[in-house]
Amino acid sequence: MLALLDLPFSDLIFRAQSVHRENFDPNSVQLSALLSIKTGGCPEDCGYCPQASRYHTGVENEDLLSLEQVVEAAQIAQLNGASRFCMGAAWRGPKEKDLAPVLDMVRAVKALGLETCATLGMLKPGQAEQLRSAGLDYYNHNLDTSPEFYGQVISTRTYQDRLDTLDKVRDAGISVCCGGIVGMGETRAERAGLIAQLANLHPQPESVPINNLVQVKGTPLAGTERLDPFEFVRMIAVARITMPHSAVRLSAGRQQIGEAFQALAFLAGANSIFYGDKLLTTANPEAIEDRALLEKLGIEPSEAAAQVRMMQPALLEEASRSHRDG
């Protein structure tokens, strides 16, 4: 992995694009939307996360959203072209009383014709099976970083805890969404270690989100030296080469690297993005800006493009404005 990351940039991009074209349409991207259904109050100490209750970040502890609020957000995401809707909750792991309303949300979103995804923390025995029965397609549980660097970021759960939850998800027959975060102060060798862990999961994750740290004042990682955007693109390329059949997703931090580096990331093999105006609690390029960028690059949304082209732009704008205004 490190040898790949060390390649001359043009050689690395050529290899990644070659692998990408062997397995995917190079001018197609899958669009996912992410909604925080339970924000703040998390007991964990993840050094990057503004939702940890121990940090003073201005993120308030909020109740679980209602089913109606989640369905409305999913409908807006679908109108904007998303084919997958992910629901995230700031829990160490869901209690049974927490899981019941989430199961209703999964059923309702699935009924809209969207793929469903959830990220709820660590799962207890039997919970993955309940989610699968409700119609959950994907479960997101990131490894975050390499085993060697992990202890510098998180102490309240172990690396093995994360692997155990992934095993529960696989055993239940749910597809795995698993990636990590770069720009937390790790070395290139430690970034290689993250890719090595992901690529050696068996089977490999169906979706691999690569996040560029969004620094939030009040978290321990605020003030960390920012990662060179070329390093971010290198991570995308090595993920594509080593996980040729996985969807490699541009996730948090896209706004920070700008359009030119996003274009390079697509060239390096990214074929999925989180789409919309917010990722949990941090800003994300708005849907209209994303559509403009994809149009510049000649990239089509992979699954919902035909439906979106049929929608009247005025209807999309009206729905989005209604959602923003609450």
Q: Which of the residues are catalytic? A: 42, 46, 49, 86, 117, 177, 249
Phi, psi (degrees; rounded to nearest 5) at 112: -75, -15
Q: Name which of 2, 16, 11, 10 is nearest 269 in CA terms.
A: 16
Range 50-88 burial, b when 16+ CB lie within 10 A, else e: bbbeebebebeeeebbebeebbebbbbbbbbbbbbbbbb
Strand partners, 209: 249
Asked whether the beta carbons of 231 and 6 are under 8 A apart, the reply is no
